[in-house]
């Protein structure tokens, strides 16, 4: 009973996690293109050379600092929400999220090898990857059901109604 009640909560968490993973996957190549387009490649090589001299623990600090620097931007977004500045708040939060994921992807790319030298970080990294696969497995059937409904496939009432609407639209278009 409790498991059934918690299922929507887990699905919501899985969706949020997959959105984060999607942002990571799609922003990392964009950041790579930006690095290639502007002189950030030199910064990346310089940073990689400096990180090679650091211990894994100090590398963790290099990885965490940009996230901490963006925290005030998220607070600004929350403050704007509290003052009913919805559009500005949404823009600030989305901007902060995009910049945060982009910078984190850039920094993680440079620090990954050193960070994975720490056993607990390697374990956490593998756990996140496993969690991502579990989240995808949880959400994939729901995505397929939505695709089936949108495509008019299936035997459920929503699929039948959608097929009826599509037939009606085609008949109206043919009558013109």
Give me the residue label for tokens 């299922």.
Answer: 7
Of the candidates 102, 120, 100, 101, the one whose C-alpha atom is nearest the C-alpha of residue 56 is 120
Report CA-CA distances (Å) from 112 to 31, 43, 109, 142.
Answer: 16, 16, 6, 33
Average pLDDT over residues 129-153: 77
pLDDT confidence band for 151 (50 / 70 / 90): low
Q: What is the pLDDT of residue 120?
A: 92
> pLDDT higher for 1 or 81?
81
Residue 152: pLDDT above 70? Answer: no
Place of tokens 């902060």: 96
Token match 């211990």: residue?
A: 55
Q: For all residues of the chain together, what is the average pLDDT?
A: 79
pLDDT digits (tens, 9 = 90+) for 5-43: 667 777 777 777 777 777 777 766 776 676 666 666 777
* Token code pair at residue 143: 């995505």
* DSSP, res 153: -
């Amino acid at each position: 009973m409790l498991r059934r009640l918690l299922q929507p909560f887990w699905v919501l968490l899985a969706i949020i996690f997959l959105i984060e993973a999607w942002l990571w996957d799609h922003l990392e190549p964009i950041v790579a293109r930006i690095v290639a387009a502007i002189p950030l490649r030199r910064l990346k090589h310089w940073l990689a050379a400096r990180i090679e001299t650091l211990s894994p623990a100090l590398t963790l600090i290099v990885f965490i600092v940009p996230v901490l620097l963006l925290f005030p931007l998220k607070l600004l977004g929350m403050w704007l929400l509290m003052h009913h500045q919805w559009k500005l708040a949404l823009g600030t939060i989305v901007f902060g999220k995009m910049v945060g994921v982009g910078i984190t992807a850039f920094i993680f790319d440079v620090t990954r090898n050193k960070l994975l030298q720490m056993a607990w970080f390697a374990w956490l990294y593998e756990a996140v990857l496993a969690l991502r696969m579990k989240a995808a497995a949880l959400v994939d059937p729901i995505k397929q059901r939505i695709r089936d409904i949108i495509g008019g496939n299936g035997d459920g009432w929503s699929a039948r109604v959608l097929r009826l609407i599509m037939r009606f639209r085609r008949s109206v278009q043919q009558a013109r």
